[in-house]
Structures are given as structure tokens and as C-alpha cells.
């Protein structure tokens, strides 16, 4: 059922909708909604641990990965306060804003390092320099693939950096979109946790994207047992919702759905890339369920005109100008978007 007529292509949700198996699992457990979901939570932790070949005490479940991000910032702030050290968060700019937002609310300074101007890659050298020049604890929040660019960091450079960092440098790798990555060079930070590359590495993942469970609010962090124990101290107690837990479990078991979900996004990406090529609009190589593309015009005006056509597209991402972030929805949704985009070209707006 269509709840509203707007085509929402702005939050990187998965408009394929949740798996039927997830829906059924929620319905099947409504009758036990009066009980605490301890068993289902334990089962989910066990499943995530086995899929990722880590121990159960290497998983921290979040109420969305946003909660995992918050606990990392809080845990390190607490560590800094207890040891009389300064603490800063270092982020690429632009990137997903939650680490910054939580840090600012907690009074933690945030240093933003612009993406490389030529290709919008993460500027690893300058990110590192900010921490090298700082006397205290630094947390790097690195979204890989990055949001809004949908591109990945250089794997070898990132891995070497994580492996060789001093003990007061921490890495929060946000891999919300990792399931979409096709680049053979990509290696997940989860592999580095398995290899025990660094005790200062935390990787976060979400059920909001490929699994289409954004409304169910489930994410998780993977790190060493010791780091997970310190993160859990700042996690809301009993944070997992029964419906979310059973929906996530069902989806992880549903290989057919997971493949269809990925295929749908890949097909939509191809449709969009073809039209962008045709219109000669530049785009970055998308490794996620969204694409960052040129519009040859003012982004605010473009967003407004799309909205007039009942399409919501991504917000502005200063300091980058002339690029819009588009969520890759279903093929039908992309067809609607493409028709509007082409009409914009005919009117000379893009």
C-alpha cells in the first residue's frame, strides 16, 4: 500500500520493502510481544557472529547502527575523561553526520578534513595528520563506502594505517553499505578484526539497507571482546526490539531475498548510469545503494524542482557543489525519476 504519493529517493532506504519471511516472523511473534526478547536477541547475536566468523562477545547490537556510533563516541570520551586526556573526533567532509552530531552534543571537538578535490576520495594523509598533531585521543569516523559519494577508500592504504596507528588513535569504520561493494580491491574491516589487526578498530553494520529493515532499527558493532565490553557499558540496556530481532534473523536466513535485494539495486544503478551517460552527467563509481551525480546546476534549485514533481532527492553536501545524491530504488521508481530528469534536460535545467 502506498502511504503517500511522494517518491522518496533521499534517505538511502531500500524501497523493495522487507522480505516476506521477515514480515511473517514479525506476525508470528506478536503474541509474545509481552515478553522481553532475550532469546531472540541471543539468537541474533549468535547468527551475526557465525556469519562473520567472530565470537559472540565480539558483537554489540544497536538500536540501528546510529546507536553503535553514539556508544563509540561516548566510550572514548569517558576514557579520555578518566585518564585526563583530550579527545577529538576526526571526520572526512562531507560524510554521514551522526558521529559529528553526537560528538558536538557531548562537547567533543570535531575536525573535518575535506575530501580530495579531484575525485572526492578520503584524504587519508590529512586525516592522519590531524591526529598526529593532537595531544590526546583521536577517533576517526570513516564511512566505507562513504556517504554521500558511494565510493570506497583505498584498501591497502587504510589497512596499513589501521595496523600501524599509535594506541591513542581509534577507528570507527562505518560499513553500512558494504554488502553493495563490487570492487575486488575492497576488504571489510571485519576481516581486520578477525586478524586482530588493531584493538582500536570498531566496525559497524546495519540492517537498514540491504535487509530493508530501517524502521525496525537494528545495527551492530564488531570489535575485539575487550572493546565490545567497553562499548556495551554505554549501550541502552535491553535495546533490541522483538520485531526487529526476528525480522533480522529471518532475513539473514532468506538467501533468495538477499540476492533479489542486491539484484534490484544493481539493476537500478545500471539504469541510472545509462541515463547519466546519455545526458553526459558525471557520476562517481557507486559501491552503494545510492549514486552521487552531477546536475550541472544549483543543487537547491534542482531539489526544489524535483520536489515539485513529487520526487525527494538528497540534500546539499557542501562544500561539494553541483552534485546530487540519489537513492537507488526499484526499477519502477527509477523509471519515474528518469522521465523527470529527462524533462529537466529538455527544459535546460540540468
Ligand X SMILES: Cc1ncc(COP(=O)(O)O)c(C=O)c1O
Are 93 and 319 a contacting pair, CB within 8 Å?
yes
At closest approach, how far in Å is the CB of 155 from ligand X? 18
Nearest to 202, CA basis, from 331, 74, 32, 26: 74
Nearest to 76, CA basis, from 135, 138, 134: 138
At closest approach, how far in Å is the CB of 342 from ligand X? 28
At closest approach, how far in Å is the CB of 95 from ligand X? 8
At closest approach, how far in Å is the CB of 164 from ligand X? 25
Residue (168 or 289) nearer to ligand X, CB: 289
Residues 197, 239: Cα–Cα separation, whole Å: 29
Neighbour-count burial of 23, counting CB atoms closer than 10 A to its CB (0-12 exposed, 13-18 middle, 19+ buried) = middle
At closest approach, how far in Å is the CB of 13 from ligand X? 8
Residues 16, 331: Cα–Cα separation, whole Å: 10
At closest approach, how far in Å is the CB of 143 from ligand X? 4
List of residues 6+ apart from 266 with CB closer than 8 A: none
Residue (100 or 174) nearer to ligand X, CB: 174
Are 189 and 144 a contacting pair, CB within 8 Å?
yes
Residue (87 or 207) nearer to ligand X, CB: 207
Residues in the chain: 350
Residue (19 or 350) nearer to ligand X, CB: 19
Residue (37 or 64) nearer to ligand X, CB: 64
Residue (275 or 284) nearer to ligand X, CB: 284
Q: At what angle do helices 20-28 and 242-253 cross, to 10 degrees?
A: 140
CB atoms within 10 A of CB 49: 17
Residue (147 or 168) nearer to ligand X, CB: 147
List of residues 6+ apart from 105 with CB closer than 8 A: none
Bridge partner residues of 294 (DSSP)? 323
At closest approach, how far in Å is the CB of 66 from ligand X? 3
Q: Which residues bind ligand X (CB under 6 A)?
A: 12, 64-66, 96, 143, 147, 174, 176, 206, 208, 214, 219
Residue closest to ligand X (Cβ): 64
Amino acid at each position: 500500500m502506498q502511504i503517500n504519493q511522494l517518491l522518496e529517493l533521499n534517505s538511502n532506504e531500500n524501497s523493495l520493502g522487507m522480505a516476506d519471511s521477515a514480515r511473517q516472523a514479525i506476525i508470528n511473534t506478536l503474541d509474545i510481544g509481552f515478553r522481553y526478547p532475550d532469546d531472540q536477541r541471543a539468537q541474533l547475536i549468535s547468527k551475526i557472529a557465525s556469519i562473520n566468523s567472530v565470537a559472540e562477545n565480539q558483537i554489540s547490537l544497536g538500536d540501528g547502527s546510529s546507536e553503535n556510533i553514539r556508544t563509540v563516541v561516548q566510550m572514548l570520551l569517558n576514557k579520555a575523561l578518566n585518564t585526563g586526556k583530550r579527545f577529538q573526533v576526526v571526520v572526512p567532509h562531507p560524510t554521514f553526520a551522526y558521529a559529528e552530531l553526537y560528538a558536538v552534543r557531548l562537547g567533543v571537538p570535531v575536525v573535518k578534513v575535506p575530501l580530495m578535490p579531484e575525485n572526492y576520495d578520503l584524504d587519508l594523509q590529512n586525516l592522519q595528520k590531524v591526529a598526529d598533531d593532537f595531544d590526546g585521543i583521536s577517533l576517526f569516523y570513516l564511512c566505507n563506502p562513504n556517504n554521500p559519494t558511494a565510493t570506497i577508500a583505498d584498501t591497502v592504504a587504510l589497512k596499513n594505517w589501521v595496523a600501524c596507528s599509535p594506541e591513542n588513535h581509534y577507528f570507527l569504520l562505518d560499513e553500512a553499505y558494504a554488502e553493495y561493494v563490487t570492487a575486488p580491491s575492497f576488504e571489510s574491516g571485519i576481516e581486520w578484526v578477525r586478524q586482530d589487526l588493531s584493538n582500536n578498530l570498531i566496525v559497524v553494520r546495519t540492517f537498514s539497507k540491504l535487509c530493508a529493515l530501517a524502521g525496525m532499527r537494528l545495527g551492530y558493532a564488531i570489535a575485539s571482546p575487550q572493546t565490545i565490553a567497553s562499548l556495551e557499558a554505554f549501550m541502552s540496556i535491553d535495546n533490541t526490539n522483538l520485531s526487529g530481532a526476528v525480522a533480522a534473523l529471518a532475513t539473514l536466513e532468506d538467501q533468495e531475498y538477499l540476492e533479489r535485494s542486491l539484484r534490484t539495486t544493481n539493476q537500478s544503478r545500471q539504469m541510472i548510469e545509462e541515463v547519466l551517460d546519455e545526458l553526459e552527467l558525471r557520476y562517481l563509481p557507486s559501491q552503494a545503494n545510492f549514486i552521487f551525480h552531477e546536475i550541472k546546476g544549483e543543487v537547491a534549485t534542482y531539489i526544489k524542482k524535483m520536489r515539485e514533481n513529487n520526487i525527494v532527492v538528497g540534500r546539499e553536501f557542501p562544500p561539494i557543489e553541483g552534485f546530487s545524491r540519489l537513492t537507488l530504488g526499484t526499477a519502477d521508481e527509477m523509471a519515474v525519476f528518469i522521465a523527470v530528469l529527462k524533462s529537466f534536460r529538455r527544459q535546460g535545467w540540468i
